[in-house]
Structure 1
Amino acid sequence: MSKVFFKAYSQSLNDVTIMSKSDAILLESGTNELEIIEFHLEKHLPNGKTKTCYYGINVAKVREVIRVPETTDYPNAQPHMIGVFSSRDILTPLVDLAGWLGVPVHSDIDKKFVIVTDFNRMTNGFLIDSVSRIHRISWNDVESPSQFLEAGEQDCVVAVVRKENKLIMILDFEKIIADINPELSMEKYDVTIDRSVDLNQAMVAKRNAKTVMIVDDSAFIRSLIQDTLTSAGFNIIACKDGGEAHEKLVELAEHAKAEGVGVSKFLDAVITDVEMPRMDGMHLLKRLREHPDYGDMPIVMFSSIMSEDNREKALALGANDTITKPEIGKMVSLMDKFVF
């Protein structure tokens, strides 16, 4: 693993300290653990006081945390885009995260920090007030937001972590980026006009006999995957996290056994994200390959952090293939390859 550094804010000294990303576990093969960076926005209240809002992001998505760099205005910029700056020779947009979230904060930019992210083959900067620390946690301790509220497709919180009497909201950064820059969004993809996908009546009818389970904690991403696959003819079972998927798959295996048939009678393939509450995709993959009914089930990993290293881990655990978000255009072809 290449050595990448985080410049993390020190609460006690107001300076910048260095931590090696090589010390982070990222996504060890099937351990069901992750590390998140806790960061804050200081919300201004009507009475003049402030309230700390706690947020988190997977370490695997973060390139570095820096003080606010010099930025250049960009013509006709999207809403909440402050400007652009150079990050390791890459032109990087700086996003006003508080503005996008609708959180009123102080405007003194010199006292703020920037989380520079690197996923979906894109680099972006997000303006924040402070960084606290890195937490190493189990996905078992990461809760679905639906346990707190009814999360719809427009919700930007994909998970919640309880730490030291506070709730840390894990944000859906893919959705934030897609909202700020729609041209880069997977929403732009339309399978019905993709000439590389066979949509003749006979092929669509063949797909109508196949069922695919999609597993993703983002309602936004789940909807996009479901629209793509159903438009091509597939039937869909959708799950909001690895825990729900595992429970449904075990129940499905038990039902198939009671019926005296193979589980493939009811399900033909699984497409799963990696980062999810309760059980991550790597651990789900490991559990399924250990299950007697899912040893040969086609399983494809679809993730924004599918680096070469993580791809190797996924394949070693038994994944049939991987797709890096936002390459949703590959999904139908891969399903055709594995289920027919």
Structure 2
Amino acid sequence: MSIEPKTSILTESGTNELEIIEFRLEKVLPDGSKKLCYYGINVAKVREVIRVPDTTDYPNAQPNVLGVFSLRGKLIPLVDLASWLNVPTTSNIDKKVVIVTDFNKMSNGFLVDSVSRIHRISWEEVESPSQFLESSDQDCVVAVVRQKANLIMILDFEKIIADINPELSMEKYDVTKDRSVVIDDAMMARREAKTILVVDDSAFIRRLIENTLRSAGYNVITAKDGQDGLDNMMEFVRLCTEEQLPISEFVDGVVSDVEMPKMDGLHLVKRLRDIGEYKDIPIVMFSSLMSEDNRRKALELGANDTITKPEIGRMVGLMDSLVLVDEKK
């Protein structure tokens, strides 16, 4: 059972479309009955879907890691997704399948009960979970898709992997201890005069980017998806027109994810470049899906540069090179 990810869907000139794989967990209720729970993942993150492989125990592994397996010469951890989500399921592993993912420069296997189908949808059809629940850093759902009578929960796989592999998490990065980044009074003052808009649907990732930029001195405002980001930027245009001020009085740069509800990051770049005030504003794409092809398309649409998660250590230096470039040194 193999799936060929169509990564071009993400980058067809900012069409604001994506494909998601719907998969299911069979929740066992207290009375013994079962209930299907529906989840989704972007096809671009999926390498393939396989039968459950033989695994080898790994010493001192995180409790939700069932072991490691070999696939095409790579050792891949197998994560019991239901266990991580605290969803009690049947123990009959022979009837389950594994979704093998490939993003953030690493591969992981996720044990699920079944894979249903692929949906091609517009990001406009993808809703923010904040419409249902108050989101927080601990929230593992980044978006919701309505399909007939079911709600498909799009999971924050970056957060799941960071929880399972804390040593690989972006949370380990501390810009104040990074010798490649200048942290002194003069540079802090220069950054304090600049404001960066951070757009990401994951509260977990938004907080990490915000903390990194703020620790270096930047002012930061945030948006939870591309539409929210565009609304903020349009409000700045209104204010600068009304008060006859340059747009730099409100915002100096943008850091945006690619995958987001309502409007994806590539479509956001396209829309911003069509607005006179933002024709030249620095825009950096920060995504786990930044393949060479995706990077090329992002640059074609108007992004200044790209960073592949989890390389958050590049963030401050790159923003310095873009937003401080016109200052007198």
Q: CA RMSD in A?
A: 1.0
CA deviations on 1:266-306 (whole Å, 9 max, x unpaired) are 11000000000000000000000011111100000000000
Deviations 1:145-180 (A, max 9, x none): 000010110000000000111100000000000001
Are 1:308 and 2:292 an aligned pair? yes
In 2: Cα distance, 1:254 partner to 1:176 partner: 39
Partner of 1:210: 194
Distance in 1 (alpha carbons) for counterparts of 2:316 and 2:202: 20
Native 8 Å contact 1:33 1:136 kept in 2 = yes
Match of 1:121 among 105, 112, 118: 105
- Name the CA distance, whole Å, in 1 between partners of 2:14 and 2:217: 32
2:39 counterpart of 1:55: yes
* Counterpart Cα distance in 1 of 2:135 and 2:29: 25
Give me the identity figure in percent.
69
Which residue identity is paired with 2:321? K
Q: In 2, Cα distance between the equivalents of 1:85 and 1:21?
A: 22
For residues 165-197 of structure 1, what are the alpha-carbon distances to aligned partners after superposition, in whole Å with 9 as ceiling and x for unaligned?
Answer: 110000000000000110010001000100000
Equivalent-residue separation in structure 2 for 1:29 and 1:77 (angstroms): 42
1:25 CA displacement: 2.4
Task: Show the counterpart of 1:179.
Answer: 163
Structure 1 segments (4+ residues) deviating >2 Å: 18-27
d(CA) in 2 for partners of 1:301, 1:51 = 39
* TM, length-normalised to structure 1: 0.94
Deviations 1:54-111 (A, max 9, x none): 0000000000011101111111111200000012211100000000000000011111
Whether the 8 Å contact between 2:11 and 2:298 is mirrored in structure 1 is no
From 139, 143, 146, the counterpart of 1:162: 146
1:279 aligns with 2:275: no
Matches within 5 A, 1:166-315: 166-315=150-299
Is 1:74 equivalent to 2:25 in the alignment? no
Q: Please state whether the residue corresponding to 1:293 is helix, strand or coil.
A: helix
Supply the distance in 2 between the matched residues of 1:267 and 1:326 (Cα, whole angstroms): 25
- Out of 74, 79, 104, the position equivalent to 1:95 is 79
* Contact 2:10–2:16, Cα closer than 8 Å, also in 1: no
* Partner of residue 327, structure 2: none
Give the match for residue 13 of structure 1: none
Shift of 1:23: 8.9
Deviation of residue 229 (structure 1)?
Answer: 0.3
- CA offsets, 1:181-230, max 9 Å, x none? 10010001000100000001110011011000000000000000010000
8 Å contact kept, 2:6–2:43: no
Given that residues 114 and 127 in structure 1 are in contact (C-alpha distance below 8 angstroms), is that contact kept between their aligned partners in structure 2?
Answer: yes
Post-superposition shift, 1:330?
0.3
What letter is aligned with 1:95? Answer: V
Superposition deviation, residue 21 in structure 1: 3.3
8 A contact 1:26–1:59 mirrored in 2: no
Deviation at 1:24, TM superposition (A): 6.7
- Give 1:29 deviation, angstroms: 2.0
Partners of 1:27 and 1:34 within 8 A in 2: no
Give me the whole-angstrom Cα distance separating, in 2, the residues matched to 1:222 and 1:255.
25
Which structure 1 residue ranges, 5 or more long, are not aligned? 1-6, 8-17
Q: Which amino acid aligns with 2:220?
A: I
Aligned to 1:35: 19
Instruction: Give the TM-score of the pair, scaled to structure 2.
Output: 0.97
Q: How far apart are 1:26 and its partner, in Å?
A: 3.7
